Structure 1
Amino acid sequence: MKAKIFVLSAIVFGIISLNLLTKQETFYHPEFAEKQTSASFGISTAYAYPPGVGILTNSPNCLSCHANNGPWKDDANTIIDILDKDTKKSLKQNDGTFLIEAKKGEPKTVLTVVGSKKSNAIPASYRNAWLYIDPTTIGTNTLSKFAPNWEVNLQMSCRLVGDNLKGYEDADITSLPMTIQPLENAKDAEISLQVMLTKGEATKNNAHDGLTGSYFERKVKLKIK
């Protein structure tokens, strides 16, 4: 029994020693470094690329991690649209913003469509990412970073290109539904839609390396009917 305890202790000591010797202090997000303590014994050393701006860190947008170096431009060849799920009508306004109207207590579902036209000389992106966020909530204690008193079921996504949607047969797109619902205390709000068209794979601990991406932002107005 003593021999088993000795062997087990030696293994645990070896693991701790190895972690301490190989421990790296460079965290891509400084917020995570502050949470490391001596009580972790070096075992919990970890790296993470948060899937959401302002949710796991106080980063204001995707460019806090990723480079804006892609070939896709903010022009007619790039598709960033929000559609009414039932009518498939675009909710884009004349000023370039989007308007989503909903009644209190009633769900409203829209489709987020991101991609580029096939006729474009630039190759299609491989993976598209998007996030709906209220910039005023970044850095606050609230768990939801969507508009206050508005419920949402799919605030963000990172999806491979290749979805099929009527009206977009000549485009390489991603498309997913998002349902929102204003609660009793909800008010009109303005949120940001952050989008990245990407190609390639990011290198561990360096999101600028290996991934080509183009970043876009759109304003989305939420209005109570």
Structure 2
Amino acid sequence: MSATADATEFSLESLGRVPLQGRSKASLERMLATARTLMLERGNEDFTLQEVSSRGKVSIGSIYLRFENKDSLVRAVLYQATQTLAEQEDAMLAELAASCATLQEFVPRYVEAYAEVLRHNAPLLRLTMMRAEHDPPISLLGKRTANNAEAKAVAAFMAYRGDFAVPDPEVCAKAAHHIIFATLARELSLGSSSESVTNYDWNVLKRELARMCAAYFQAS
């Protein structure tokens, strides 16, 4: 994939040759899973394709048959990570929509659930953000993922439009999402150095963040 490629073209198929047969698909999944495991173990991309070959029990030739180089394999892992994140966000929002009758119910449960989705995905999100600093396609993918997450969150808040006291609920919903994400991301050291982590009690942070947003939505 070229550095100037549009993010809308970003898919597993655009990053490598996706097989149709079962055995070849299993081999591809081992490549991706092994690379992902190595990245998570080390907290970086410092692995070799030979390690993927040995640990994943796939030949070097098979790897090069599917991916042009290591960069393509790393990008495929990170693409899968953003897809997993999006799927978990969708499941979270669907569950909350089905179980929360009011905005007052929704806000604290949303902060709690979204915080845990981010925490669960933080290791690969951190690597995605690190690579985005020097890899334009991953940067575009990251922006697309963030924009989609914002749109889904705002739509979820707006389902309770009648419970807002503010004159422009959509503007406030968008601002709230930015505040929630930025606060949680900083504590999870996403897109910043580990020195940004404050060691503030995670449960207290979620509780107070929800209280602040709830009060903000009721400000007239």
Please, what TM-score do these two structures have when normalized by structure 1? Answer: 0.24
Look at both structures and tell me which one has the larger radius of gyration over its CA atoms.
Answer: 1
Please, what TM-score do these two structures have when normalized by structure 2? Answer: 0.25
Normalized per residue, the structure richer in helix is 2
Normalized per residue, the structure richer in strand is 1
